[in-house]
Structure 1
Amino acid sequence: MNKQEIKLLDEAFALPENTRWSSFGEGHANETWLGEIDGEEPVVLRRHNPNRTEEQILSEFKCLDLLHDIIGYEVPKALYGVNQERLTEVEGAYYSVFELIEGETPPLDKVETCSQSGQALANLHIKLWEERDAFRFAEQERPGVSKETLKSGAALLAALSELEASKNIDAKYLSSAYWADMETGLDEALGKLGNLNETKHLIHGDFGPPNTLISENSGELVGVLDWDECRWDLPVYDVAGVYPFLCEIDKSLGEAFVDAYFTGLKGSSHPLARRESEIRALMAAVQYVATYKEFELMVENHLDEPEYLAQLLEQLA
């Protein structure tokens, strides 16, 4: 952030001029800063995904407001500015200020961490299933993954070709034939998942140990962060989305996460509690769709990361 942006943001959210800002994390499309204020609680500033509209961001806040009283974990709480607005636009970007959730990111290379996260996701999904009617608005405001909501292969090829990274990617991934095959694979994967449509409720959309916080004292999981991908969709996306990432570290981590999730669902009313074998058989289809969506996010946000883009393209081949 430059000095002018900081000045405008301080004014919009009534923050002292001497607020000390430091980078607090950066994802594919968002960036956050920690704001330290003498004599007051720290705050977190977020610059939102540039592809999010004002309406989409406000609908995320609507979800977060409801989640506070439902799920049993801390979630981000957006604060109001001087005009009773929780969103302000500065130099073409949307910003919000949130309360800081106390805790630390758990170690990602431990089976215990992944088991803890899997259990937490089960708890989260049970609550979201039981309270699904409260989030029914998300069906329209934050729709799930479908052929209609995903960009076509031709559109993604055009977007990829504009990136500098395309010069370092195997030419076979830049052919119309490759993308036609990929769309066929997407259609097949979405078709297999059609039998799960009745299991939909609000999902996190990007769940995994990196988006959780644990207590520094007890080690218990206390917070779930980064809800900007939350949507009305199949809960299996939350289960399978992080699985390949954990398996890249060690396969036992991915297995621990999934095992703990299904163990946590047992005896509950959640529809996946009685369909474990079926869901495990569909994991590859879910991962294909999730990878397609991840690639779409990368090129939509002009993220020039040739190695990661090539890795995603190889997974989709």
Structure 2
Amino acid sequence: MRPAPASPQPAGSRHGRHRPARLTWAGTAGDNEGGGVDEPARGGGWAALAAWTGVELVRALPGGHRNEVMLAERAGRPLVVRRSTRPRAALEWELDLLEHVRDCGVAAPALVPTDDGRRHVDGLLVSEFVPGRYPADVADWRRVAEQLAVLHAATGGWPQRPGFAASGALLDGDRGGDVRLDAAPAPVARLVRSAWLPVQQGPRCVVHGDVGPTNVLVDGSRVTLLDWDEARVDVPWFDYAFLPDEVPTPWPGDRAQLRAAGLAWETATCWQAEPVYARRRLAELHRHRRRTGT
């Protein structure tokens, strides 16, 4: 695994999927398509930071492929500032979710409200700085799997994120969240859907959606999940798709099928947003299927 850097870690770095670990890291309520996409939450830019008296930006944090993330401080206390590009309803869903999962024992960054108590201003959010290091061994990843199980158990029946869709809905539908299967070539869309079919059994719950080495911080026995920007309702198995093979998961089927489903999801969700990365994942999916026969 990449050693913990000396500089502070963001409470929402992006992308977990772009920094593979050495420990055989393999990557990354209903099946409806959610509501329509409303007006974006963004609008005020960094000027909106004035709503948090005394918070000053320090420097950009690594990641931020879809959302800008900055290290900030207030009276010497480190904080993290993120500018979300999600529509307002999708962002509010995320913030409601984080409040709920923290109450249920899932470690996630806590928001710092504005001076007048708002959670965000036009998509700009401030959160607590989270200390820790990236997962380094099987024991760390076992704790990650345990946290994921708590998340999934705590969110059965949770409503779909507005504008998003579960993999099951996308077997027939074309769009949901960042997925745009209608923009992908027909053979790619067919391949992606065929990889999702074997993992459709099981409950529906919230999945984090981007479980990767740089989206997890370990501090003693505490495991914090960062960057919930891609969270949605789906089958829970997607969150385990890229965990090291040495780590047991509740997925009852073939791990090769699970990894294929994860590679297919990353291909689909990044096809337009991160096209170079998506095509690398597509090539990996082809190699994986040839090698494993999935």
TM-score under structure 2 length normalisation: 0.69
Residues 1:152 and 1:310: Cα distance change in structure 2 (over 3 Å): closer
- Tell me how many residue pairs correspond in the alignment: 237
Residues 1:96 and 1:281: Cα distance change in structure 2 (over 3 Å): same
What do residues 153-182 of structure 1 show as CA deviations (whole Å, max 9, x unaligned)? Answer: 4524xxxxxxxxxxxxxxxxxxxxxx2222
Residues 1:199 and 1:281: Cα distance change in structure 2 (over 3 Å): farther
Deviation at 1:67, TM superposition (A): 1.1
Distance in structure 1 (CA, Å) of the matches to 2:75 and 2:51 = 19
Equivalent pairs: percent with the same residue?
A: 22
TM-score under structure 1 length normalisation: 0.65
The residue that corresponds to 1:127 in the other structure is 150
Q: 1:125-274 counterparts in 2 under 5 A?
A: 125-133=148-156, 136-138=158-160, 143-145=165-167, 146-147=169-170, 148=173, 149-150=175-176, 151-156=179-184, 179-194=185-200, 196=201, 198-215=202-219, 218=220, 220-240=221-241, 242-243=242-243, 254-256=244-246, 260-262=247-249, 272=251
The two structures, once aligned, show a CA RMSD in angstroms of: 2.8
The question of 1:14 aligning with 2:53 is answered: yes
What do residues 44-67 of structure 1 show as CA deviations (whole Å, max 9, x unaligned)? Answer: 10011x3x1011011100010011
The residue that corresponds to 1:68 in the other structure is 102
Distance in structure 2 (CA, Å) of the matches to 1:237 and 1:27 = 22
| 3-state SS in 2 of match to 1:255 | coil
The residue that corresponds to 2:258 in the other structure is 283
Q: Which of the residues 230, 243, 267 maps onto 1:292? A: 267
Residues 1:5 and 1:15: Cα distance change in structure 2 (over 3 Å): farther
Deviation at 1:36, TM superposition (A): 1.9
Residues 1:80 and 1:97: Cα distance change in structure 2 (over 3 Å): same
Residues 1:153 and 1:226: Cα distance change in structure 2 (over 3 Å): closer
Runs of 4+ in 1 over 6 A off after TM superposition: none
Residues 1:84 and 1:315: Cα distance change in structure 2 (over 3 Å): same
| 3-state SS in 1 of match to 2:248 | helix
Distance in structure 1 (CA, Å) of the matches to 2:57 and 2:65 = 24
Distance in structure 2 (CA, Å) of the matches to 1:309 and 1:136 = 29
What do residues 75-132 of structure 1 show as CA deviations (whole Å, max 9, x unaligned)? Answer: 111222134322222xxxx2111111222334xxx5x1x4412x12332233234333
The residue that corresponds to 2:292 in the other structure is none
Given residue 140 of structure 2, which amino acid in structure 1 is its aligned partner? Q
Given residue 231 of structure 1, which amino acid in structure 2 is its aligned partner? R
| 3-state SS in 1 of match to 2:62 | strand
| 3-state SS in 2 of match to 1:81 | coil
Residues 1:142 and 1:13: Cα distance change in structure 2 (over 3 Å): farther
The question of 1:36 aligning with 2:76 is answered: no
The question of 1:101 aligning with 2:125 is answered: no
- Structure of higher CA gyration radius: 1
Q: Which of the residues 99, 110, 115 maps onto 1:82? A: 115
Q: Which of the residues 57, 64, 83 maps onto 1:27? A: 64
Given residue 230 of structure 1, which amino acid in structure 2 is its aligned partner? A
Distance in structure 2 (CA, Å) of the matches to 1:221 and 1:35 = 23
Distance in structure 1 (CA, Å) of the matches to 2:149 and 2:182 = 38
Given residue 153 of structure 2, which amino acid in structure 1 is its aligned partner? E
Gaps of 5+ in 2: 1-43, 287-294
The residue that corresponds to 1:171 in the other structure is none
